[in-house]
Structure formats: C-alpha cells, structure tokens
Amino acid sequence: MHYQNERNYGCRVSDAWSFRGLKTAVLENEVLRVVILVDKGADIYQLVHKPTDVDFLWRSPSGVRDPRKFLPTTGDPVGVWMDAYEGGWQTVFPAGGFPSNYRGADLGLHAEANLLPWDCAVLEDTPEHVSIKFWVRTSRMPFFFEKTLSLTAGSSVLEVDQAITNEAGEMMHCVWGEHIALGAPFLSKDCVLDLPGGTIVNHPVAFHPNNRLEADAKTPWPMTRGVDGSEIDMREIPDMDVRAYDMSYFSDMPEGWYAVTNRRIGVGLGVRYPTDVYPYLWYWQSFGGGTGYPFWGRTYNAGLEPFSSYANEGLGSAIENGTAMELEPGESVKSALKVVAYAGSESVSRVAPDGSVERA
C-alpha cells in the first residue's frame, strides 16, 4: 500500500515492512502488537501485550531465516522444517506431524503451508478497526488457504478467521493445526494452565530419553502418570531444570479453550477455538529436555496447539486412525479463533466465545 494514510494512534495495520529480508506485516492497537512473517508461512512471530511489554510467543535459538538465502545441507524431511523454525505460531496444513507420503506426494514435517510465501492485502484500516487477509495455495497438495486477522480499538482480543478449500477433482485428506508455542520470560514455573476438562492422552510410545510421562496413559484432566508411576498435575508448568521432553493430547473437551496465566507477572494468554474443526489440543512440552538435534538441551517452551487430528505422527497415521479431515472436491471448512491477552493472577474458569475471560 504505497498511499496508505498512516497514523500513530488507535488501530494500525501495514504490510510494508521487511524483517531479515522477509515481507512482514504489523497489526496493532492500544493493547496488542502482532507481527506476521508474510513470506514465511504468514507465521505470527510476535504477539505482544503492550501494557506489560510481554511477548507470549517462544523464539527458537535458530532465529528467523530467509529461505531464499539458506540452503539446507540435506533433504531430510524433518530437518528442512526444523532448520527454518523460528518459534511463534505456524499454520500447520495440509499435513501435521512427522513425515508421510500421500498418494505420491512426499510430505515433510508439518508440511507445507508454513514454508511458503503468502499473499496479503489490507481489508480495513480505520482507527476503530483494522483487518488484513493472507492467502496461499499449497504446492504438493491442491488446497487454498486464507486467513484474516483483525483488531478492534481498545480490545485485547485478536480475531483469526480462516478457511480451507479443496481445489482437487477428488476427495482429499488433510490435517489442520495451529502450532502456537509459548516461551520465556512469559512462560515459567509461575504459570498455570487452565482447561475446561477432558481426557489426557500421552504420546502412544516412548520417543525420547527425557520423557517424564508414561506412554499412552489415558487419564481425566488434570492428572496424568509419570514414567516412575507418580501422579503429575498438568495444570502446573515445571521449571527448565526438570529436563523433560514430552507430547500429550487433550481430547473430549466440553469446550474449545485454554488459558495460561503467569501468576507472578499478572498476565495471561487465552485461546478460544471451535472443537468441530479442532477436536484435539496437542501439548508439546519442551522443558529443557530436548537434547540432540535440533534443540540441544537449550530450549524451554510449551506448544498448546488446537488440531484436527491425532497424533503427531503425520497425515498417513491420521488417515489410519480415522482422525484425518476429508474434503470433497470444492468443499471448504472454516474456523474462527479468538486470542486474548488479559491481566490478573487468578485462575481462568472460561474463555468465552467472544474471547472474554471469566475467572474462577
């Protein structure tokens, strides 16, 4: 937008920025600042609560890399994604989890929308309301994806409206997830995780020497079992010195929401999402225990990720267990998320459909 009427108050939006060579968009109001890497998956790289100067999202030690200036040293289908993973929030589509092959299409980790450059356009730009749209066509599978981010003046709620469309001439399977990774200094042992209830399912098999959770344990929220038979309260966020690395999944939740509150800082992040699109909430727990490639024991973060399917084993596995999405030719599926930053140290009893936070 070469002739945008720019301002320094109220709601603001611009797609005229660049960060490390990548086209970047910035969306903000008095409460929130959102930075989107348009040329790298339209990833949300920053989500800042301006009154407390807290960025909720995790930053990977690898940082942001311009794919045009970086050549992976191998074609490993996990490494290609990990080498470009900067943290933050990715759109995972049309395949989520580890590599698989779908009807001859070779799909790497979390393929493939988040490794592509997206198009974008500002839809609304007033002091009272701003809205920007992003869209992409995936390369190896014939899908069209569009998402729109919006902010209203004075509101602490980011609205995310999305749609996927099958442009193939045949039925297509897919996995759709929101790969939201939270990190320090917001994330700490002072944090508590609130959910509306449901079932905890730990990853089906032991997959790392630093797993602290019993594989395939199924228990009611909030307690699960450790590998040593102990009870572990999943509401509590452990410190980095626990040196744990795990994956769990929450299912059968009566509503689609979660909230993470830092009781010391007095600020939190809540996410409201539709369970008809995302019936599973993946919980990636990287509490200092991710040794070896790619994290080398130096990362402390938690991924709380609404997903269409189970588990983190790729599209082929989701098809086999019956949790993959199925779209007929021309069919579209929509989702609407509300992401809210809030002040206070009390536990959250509910994130309402409008994104407002209710206290216990």
- Model confidence over 107-165: pLDDT tens digits? 999 999 999 999 999 999 999 999 999 999 999 999 999 999 999 999 999 999 999 99
Residue range 14-36: mean pLDDT, rounded: 97
Distance in angstroms (rounded) separating the CA atoms of residues 256 and 335: 12
What CATH architecture does domain 12-353 belong to?
Answer: Distorted Sandwich (2.70)
* Cβ atoms of residues 310 and 322 within 8 Å: no
Phi and psi angles of residue 320, each rounded to the nearest 5 degrees, phi first: -65, -40
The pLDDT assigned to 241 comes to 96
From 278, 274, 229, select the one nearest 250 (Cα to Cα). Answer: 278
Q: What is the pLDDT confidence band of residue 69, given thresholds at 50, 70 and 90?
A: confident
The pLDDT assigned to 5 comes to 84
The pLDDT assigned to 74 comes to 86
Three-class secondary structure of residue 114 per DSSP: helix
The pLDDT assigned to 360 comes to 75
The pLDDT assigned to 316 comes to 97
Residue range 183-199: mean pLDDT, rounded: 98
pLDDT(317) > 90 = yes
Phi and psi angles of residue 83, each rounded to the nearest 5 degrees, phi first: -65, -25
Distance in angstroms (rounded) separating the CA atoms of residues 236 and 226: 14
pLDDT(71) > 90 = no
From 338, 340, 336, 355, select the one nearest 161 (Cα to Cα). Answer: 336
Measure the CA dihedral 116/121/127/128, to 10°. Answer: -90
The pLDDT assigned to 315 comes to 98
* Cβ atoms of residues 267 and 341 within 8 Å: yes
Phi and psi angles of residue 90, each rounded to the nearest 5 degrees, phi first: -105, 145
* Cβ atoms of residues 40 and 84 within 8 Å: yes
- The pair of structure tokens assigned to 295 is 């994290």
276: CB partners within 8 A, 6+ apart: none
Three-class secondary structure of residue 70 per DSSP: coil
